[in-house]
């Protein structure tokens, strides 16, 4: 009975409980919503602006013969060839080492001390600034061969690609169910047969994606090439002489007063940006599809 006497207080309390949020909490919600969406919008502006401006400024001066002329003749043929050479050398050096180290991390004692240290060192390696890698390649190749060269550039890029390939290979191999390994072992497969015929074969799309990402990253790298592959205005004389590349072309010529050279910089940027973005969009789409399927 006494409860009913207090009913007035209870009603107001109920009313408060059922009412929409008090003004200050409502304001906080709306304010924070606005800030979060505003910041996200702000984050998107640079990318959209870069894509739009590079395309707009670069497309006007584009001529198909630029692909076969060297920088001296206002083309970027030698830079494309140089980039391909340097990245190919880097891939040759880093892909075998990277895949086998990835196999080591995923297949040989995933949680013992050695694997932990190798994994830790690989993550540290991934964080080393690319210009520092350039100093390393300068010391190992340029000082020994006494010449700036495509090989030195390729060596530097290999050190940058290596941790990317190791870590993505490990991730790809980890996605393969243990049952498949056990099945192979039960049929008498050795570790070599299990790894190569079963695990690596099933993980091949994932490993390829990792390699593509590493190649895309290496293609856009400028800093380690500045004092390893250096640059050349004309076609490179060979693997042991200075070699042009697309990113270094942009860096060397962006301040050039010659309007024709300036145009060349923007057109080269379209090629480089297109190359890098296509590869990384493509490989990311593949991985996101795979993740959804596995869930």
Partner 1 sequence: MANSSESDNFNSSLQPNYSDEHIELIAKDGMNFWFNQGFTWLVYVFATITVLVLFSMSWVIFDEAKPAIIQFGIGFLWGNDWDTGNQVFGALPYIYGTLVSSAIAILFAVPIGIAVALVTSENFLPQSVQTTLGFIVELIAAIPSVIIGLWSIFIFIPVLEPLQKWLASNFKWIPLLNSQDPVGTNMLTAGIILAIMILPTMAAITRDVFIATPKELRTASMALGSTRWETIFRVLLPAGFSGIVSAAMLALGRALGETMAVTMVIGNSAQISASLLDPAYTIPAVLANEFAEAEPGLHIGALSYLGLILFALTLMVNMGAGLLVQWVSKKNR
Window 71-100: residues binding partner 1 (CB under 8 A) = 96-98, 100
- Candidates 79, 173, 203, 265; binder of partner 1 (CB under 8 A) is 265
Taking the complex as a whole, the smallest distance from the CB of residue 12 to partner 1 amounts, in Å, to 17
Nearer to partner 1, 64 or 127 (CB): 127
Taking the complex as a whole, the smallest distance from the CB of residue 249 to partner 1 amounts, in Å, to 9
Nearer to partner 1, 71 or 230 (CB): 230
Taking the complex as a whole, the smallest distance from the CB of residue 54 to partner 1 amounts, in Å, to 7
Residues in 118-137 that interact with partner 1 by CB under 8 A = 118, 120-125, 127-136
Nearer to partner 1, 7 or 145 (CB): 145
Residues in 5-34 that interact with partner 1 by CB under 8 A = 21, 25, 28-29, 32-33
Distance, CA of 102 to CA of 230 (rounded, Å)? 32
> Binding of partner 1 at residue 139 (CB under 8 A)?
yes
Tokens representing 97 are 């080492």
> Binding of partner 1 at residue 44 (CB under 8 A)?
yes
The residue range among 6-14, 50-58, 73-81, 202-210 that interacts with partner 1, by the rule CB under 8 A, is 50-58
Residues in 148-207 that interact with partner 1 by CB under 8 A = 148, 159, 162-163, 166, 190-193, 195-196
Contact 108, 115 (CB under 8 A): yes
> Binding of partner 1 at residue 55 (CB under 8 A)?
no
- Candidates 90, 173, 216, 244; binder of partner 1 (CB under 8 A) is 216
Contact 122, 167 (CB under 8 A): yes
- Candidates 24, 47, 64, 257; binder of partner 1 (CB under 8 A) is 47
> Binding of partner 1 at residue 251 (CB under 8 A)?
yes
Taking the complex as a whole, the smallest distance from the CB of residue 1 to partner 1 amounts, in Å, to 31
- Candidates 2, 39, 259, 260; binder of partner 1 (CB under 8 A) is 39
């Amino acid at each position: 009975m006494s409860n009913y006497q207090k009913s007035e207080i209870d009603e107001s309390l109920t009313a408060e409980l059922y009412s929409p949020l008090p003004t200050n909490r409502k304001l906080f919600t709306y304010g924070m919503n606005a800030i979060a969406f505003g910041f996200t919008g702000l984050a998107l502006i640079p990318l959209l602006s870069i894509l739009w401006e590079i395309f707009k400024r670069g497309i006007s001066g584009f001529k198909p013969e630029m692909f076969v002329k060297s920088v001296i003749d206002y083309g970027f043929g030698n830079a494309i060839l140089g980039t391909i050479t340097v990245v190919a050398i880097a891939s040759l050096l880093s892909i075998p080492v990277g895949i086998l180290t990835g196999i080591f991390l995923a297949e040989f004692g995933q949680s013992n001390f050695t694997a932990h240290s190798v994994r830790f060192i690989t993550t540290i390696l991934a964080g080393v600034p690319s210009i520092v890698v350039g100093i390393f390649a300068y010391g190992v190749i340029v000082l020994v061969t006494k010449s700036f060269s495509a090989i030195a550039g390729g060596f530097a890029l290999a050190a940058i690609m290596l941790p990317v390939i190791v870590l993505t290979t490990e991730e790809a191999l980890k996605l393969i169910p243990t049952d498949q390994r056990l099945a192979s072992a039960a049929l008498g497969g050795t570790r070599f047969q299990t790894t190569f015929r079963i695990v690596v074969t099933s993980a091949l799309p994932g490993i390829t994606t990792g390699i593509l990402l590493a190649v895309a990253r290496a293609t856009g790298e400028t800093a380690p090439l500045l004092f390893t592959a250096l640059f050349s205005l004309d076609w490179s004389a060979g693997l042991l002489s200075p070699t042009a590349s697309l990113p270094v072309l942009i860096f060397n010529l962006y301040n050039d007063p010659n309007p024709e050279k300036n145009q060349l910089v923007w057109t080269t940027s379209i090629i480089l940006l297109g190359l890098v973005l296509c590869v990384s969009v493509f490989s990311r789409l593949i991985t996101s599809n795979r993740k959804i399927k596995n869930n």
